[in-house]
Chains A and B, each alone.
Chain A
Amino acid sequence: MTPHLAYLLFGVAVFLLAATAIGQILRARVAPDGSNPAIENLNARIAAWWAMVILLAIAFLAGRPGVVLLFAILSFAALREFLSLTRKSAADHWALAAAFFVVLPVQYLLVGIDWYGFYAIFIPVYAFLLLPVLSALRGGPADFLDRVAETQWALMISVYCVSHVPALLSLQIAGFEGQNVLLIAWLIFTVQLSDVMQYVWGKLFGRRPLAPSLSPSKTWEGFLGGLATATAAGAAFWWLTPFAPGQAALMALVVTVMGSFGGLVMSAIKRDKGVKDWGHLIAGHGGFLDRLDSVVFAAPIFFHLTRYFWSQT
């Protein structure tokens, strides 16, 4: 582990310790019997944050295979949540099975062996053309385009976009060799901090709704406050990255804006499907996609910007 990563993890641990202390004090003062749902939800969220940070730290310690495996598992959980809500018929069975058991493993294998030319197009070209063939071969034209499009979007979001997080490990940046894991740490830290701070700013000062028909809890005050805080924090941690301070601020702004848009788009899908959360497996947060939605939209853009401006390959 590079010393920089150790500093960041230490900082996050201190932050979480403080949050845990506050959560426990609130609980003891206000409702020791666990009768206040807001405080219970806050504590469940903090506990889940601990689990997520520890898992990430273990993956970072295990190096490239650990990171690729962790995000493959996250993709699997996300794909399952997404495809549980999409339209499908018995004719799609092979296509769905292939999405889980062929497309997902192959994409992560390609990322693992660093075959950029193939993993960059494998899903948009090969999976998108071949999966509908499987559905067509099994017959059943009813809602064909809806079924195919929803399955493809599930793959795009849950597998293709998520796989661009571990893909950051393959970038060749002069003077940054062996430290690419810091790019992942910085990206996730910035984007997730933006989510948390948008929630905090929104709770404190939120007045004007951002998209009332999609998500009643999102406000302009929360959005702008979250962006400003996370951009400042991303810039302050420029020393973790190959970017200069000003560049880090710009990058942080791009990824937090993309992350917020991701949350908005995924809210629209949830609304359309009539659910509040994508899943139920992370206590206090909902599903894996509820936590990943902002990373999903930020990761590919962050990957390509970094690759275009800093990478030697």
Chain B
Amino acid sequence: MTGGGQRVLSRLRRSSLALVAGLLAKAITLFARLATAPRAIWAGVEPRAGQRIYYANHTSNGDFVLIWTVLPPVLRAKTRPVAALDYWLRSPMRAFVGRDVFNAVLIDRRPDHRAEDPVTQMAEALDGGASLILFPEGQRNSSEAPLLPFKSGLYHLARQRPGVDLVPVWISNLNHVMPKGEIIPVPLICTLTFGAPLRLADDEPKDAFLARTAVALLALRTGGAA
């Protein structure tokens, strides 16, 4: 086959993959809407254009899908979830969904395995113009406590890119829709409460900043319906 033919073929392949990814994205948001009738409550911030880091509590694998679903399409196109590489690259199907559908920033949670520093990866994604969805607890919370202690990633990212707004997002009820280890979702209504944006103050110590961001997130718990 000639080089030109191969180029056409590979372009065809790429554009059909992009088409499938786009359709899959629509199907996933439609499913999320049917399964959980998500309701966004914008309390202290508006769904406007502009770069943001959405940080949320993490109880289920559906968390970022929900945030993604309730964002207006214009914002959704520019918003990338930060997700665990070891989870999303486990099978080719997952890798396709993670990379091509969600355009996730895949970070390696295992320090001894990773080739790239996660904070650098996130900062690069911000430099590329994207907004981010981040779960500072670093893992799904299946404990009785409403929130696990934050990992330091949020602080390091805020220090490297201090000009980006941090928007807390409290997701409620999703842990009842699909508790860890369950397969069938129970179609309850989820609410997502978006709070007022925060930024790292000059000379703010790490622990104080992480405590402040956690308190701001927890304060949104009562904003949504149960």
Contact = CB atoms under 8 A, between A and B. Distances in A.
Interface of A: 76, 80-81, 83-85, 88, 90, 93, 96-97, 100-101, 273-275, 279-281
Interface stretch (B12-20, B44-52, B107-115, B184-192): B184-192
A274 B39 CA distance: 17
Given A90-B176, A279-B37, 11 more contacts: A76-B187, A80-B37, A80-B187, A81-B189, A84-B225, A93-B179, A97-B184, A274-B225, A274-B226, A275-B225, A280-B39
Contacts of B226: 84-85, 273-275
B225 A93 contact: no
A90 B188 contact: no
Contacts of B61: none
Contact of B173 (A84, A100, A275): A84
14 contacts: A80-B187, A80-B188, A83-B188, A84-B189, A84-B225, A85-B225, A88-B176, A93-B182, A96-B188, A100-B186, A100-B187, A101-B184, A274-B225, A279-B37
A80 B39 CA distance: 13
Contacts, number: 41
**Number of chain B interface residues as a range:** 10 to 19
Nearest to A91: B179
Contacts of B225: 84-85, 273-275
Interface of B: 37, 39, 173, 176, 179, 182, 184, 186-189, 225-226
B186 A93 contact: yes
Contacts of A97: 184, 186
A128 B38 CA distance: 29
A76 B189 CA distance: 12
A84 B182 contact: no
B129 to A, nearest CB: 32
Contacts of A88: 176
A77 to B, nearest CB: 8
Nearest to B172: A84
Nearest to B186: A96
A90 B121 CA distance: 36
A62 to B, nearest CB: 22
B33 to A, nearest CB: 11
A100 to B, nearest CB: 6
A104 B75 CA distance: 37
Contacts of B182: 93
A274 B186 CA distance: 22
Contacts of A83: 186, 188
